[in-house]
Amino acid sequence: MKVLLIGNGAREHALAEAITRGEAKLVSLMAANNPGISSLSSNRFIGRIDEQDLIRHIVEKTKPDIAVIGPEAPLQTGVVDFLSELKVPSVGPVKELAKLETSKSFSRRLQQQYNIKGMPRWQAFESMHEIDSYMEELKDFVIKPDGLTGGKGVKVKGEHFKSISQGVEYCREVLDKHPSVIVEERLEGEEFSLQCLTDGRHVIATPPVQDHKRAFEDDTGPNTGGMGSYSCEDHLLPFLKQEHIDEALEITKGMAKAIHKETGIYYKGVMYGGFILTRDGVKLIEYNARFGDPEAMNVLPLMETSFVDVCRAIVEGSLNTFKTKFSKKATVCKYVVPKGYPEKPVKDVKIDIGKNKARAYYASIDKREDGLYMLGSRAVAFVGISDTIDEAERIAQQGVESVKGPVFYRKDIGTKALLKKRVEHVRSLIP
């Protein structure tokens, strides 16, 4: 079995590890030389990850059996459609179905049309007409561009802007760049990620994870791609019960069915739902059409079933034929990021990683002759895995502390104090 992996972040490093653990040969296409992926690859190519001529050349030369697409950008440009023309099936949706992530209105419309639970009040606008009166009606709302924004487009009233007139201003800016803008009821609660695998007919959940989007400790500072994340040994979260995870899974199953009914195409790949537990139950915030980064690093290392077998079942449509098992361990992931990230990160600066017990997954790193250089985005993810979250946190912390260079990280992720705050927050909403 030969697997072509597209992408070069920490998520793809974790995918590369899962693929090669399944004894498949790895062929990688990366935009920069990720040393972790490189060391696991039997063939590696560096270039634009959605360039058709390069992909055709790789397929002709290495003849992969399947492809696994890591990030959302190549899904949006139709790399899966192109690979399918070359007779390589992919774990990842075709362009039309990647709209699950690339168009927030596509997902909300499906949810509405097929009566799927967990929907907040929302409306999409293609012009400024009556936007302000809808804002008046909702009072507390969020504004979402209807397109990919690298995780930085959503603005929340009360956090990113204060008044309706500032909200109107932002909508105008969004409509200059995107076909539509969504104004949506602001939900209050605790967020969690449920990453599901699907062949379009059957849906399997991986353990739930909580990510930390804010740059600084105590959830302050600007939004980032995610500074770290944790999962628990019981495959629940401290503020979440099994019934909540079941609710989220039911929503994802409903969406998978709705996608097929609506388009006639089976969705193959990852449906990663961002959910929020509110006073009125579990609500859907959004879907991503790929694994989360950092959430992939929490679940892939725990997979006891061969990931390559799972990938094969996804492309064949036989995901119901075996049970996917995850080991009952806790995981904590902490990212080191360049000083100044996300707004003004230092770039092209060298770091050194000292001895530590954590697993290291390389992200925005380029390995050059004289060492590891940060490229400006999240640099290295350190993951601790253990029987208890305390121990997993200690291991991850040892990892981030071992880095020498102009970096910072969030010490609080996975700590007792932070988990307690999450539990108390939910208790204040749902006594």
> Any residues with CB less than 8 A from the CB of 19 and at least 6 apart, and which?
3, 5, 26, 40, 68, 307, 308, 311
Q: Give the shortest CB-296-to-ligand GLY separation in angstroms.
A: 8
Q: Give the shortest CB-179-to-ligand GLY separation in angstroms.
A: 22
Among 184, 190, 247, 295, binds ligand GLY (CB under 6 A): 295
Q: Which is nearer to ligand GLY, 198 or 306 (CB)?
A: 198
CA–CA distance, 168 with 257 (Å, rounded to integer):
36
Q: Give the shortest CB-319-to-ligand GLY separation in angstroms.
A: 22
Q: Give the shortest CB-101-to-ligand AMP separation in angstroms.
A: 9
Phi, psi for residue 277 in degrees, rounded to 5: -85, 115
Closest CA to 328 of 197, 218, 422, 235: 235
Q: Is 211 in the site for ligand GLY (CB under 6 A)?
A: yes
Q: Of 44-52, 232-240, 292-300, 324-332, which part binds ligand GLY (CB under 6 A)?
A: 292-300
Partner from ligand AMP, ligand GLY, none binding residue 191, C-beta < 5-8 Å depending on class: ligand AMP
Q: Of 168-176, 254-262, 288-296, 360-368, which part binds ligand GLY (CB under 6 A)?
A: 288-296
Partner from ligand AMP, ligand GLY, none binding residue 186, C-beta < 5-8 Å depending on class: ligand AMP
Q: Which is nearer to ligand AMP, 185 or 401 (CB)?
A: 185
Binding-site ranges for ligand AMP (CB under 6 A): 120, 142, 151, 153-154, 156, 184-187, 191, 213, 274, 285-286
Q: Which is nearer to ligand GLY, 190 or 211 (CB)?
A: 211
Partner from ligand GLY, ligand AMP, none binding residue 296, C-beta < 5-8 Å depending on class: none
Half-sphere exposure of 304 (CA within 13 A, CB side): 9
Among 292, 376, 384, 405, binds ligand GLY (CB under 6 A): 292
CA–CA distance, 135 with 87 (Å, rounded to integer):
48
CA–CA distance, 372 with 2 (Å, rounded to integer):
28
Q: Which is nearer to ligand GLY, 145 or 292 (CB)?
A: 292
Partner from ligand GLY, ligand AMP, none binding residue 226, C-beta < 5-8 Å depending on class: ligand GLY
Q: Is 151 in the site for ligand GLY (CB under 6 A)?
A: yes
Q: Which is nearer to ligand GLY, 211 or 393 (CB)?
A: 211
Q: Give the shortest CB-291-to-ligand GLY separation in angstroms.
A: 7
Quote the tokens at residue 127. Answer: 């012009």
Among 146, 233, 293, 366, binds ligand GLY (CB under 6 A): 293
Per the rule left: phi > 0, alpha: psi between -120 and 50, beta: everything else, 221 is left
* Strand 66-69, strand 90-91: pairing: parallel
Q: Which is nearer to ligand AMP, 148 or 236 (CB)?
A: 148
List of residues contacting ligand GLY (CB under 6 A): 151, 211, 226, 288, 292-293, 295
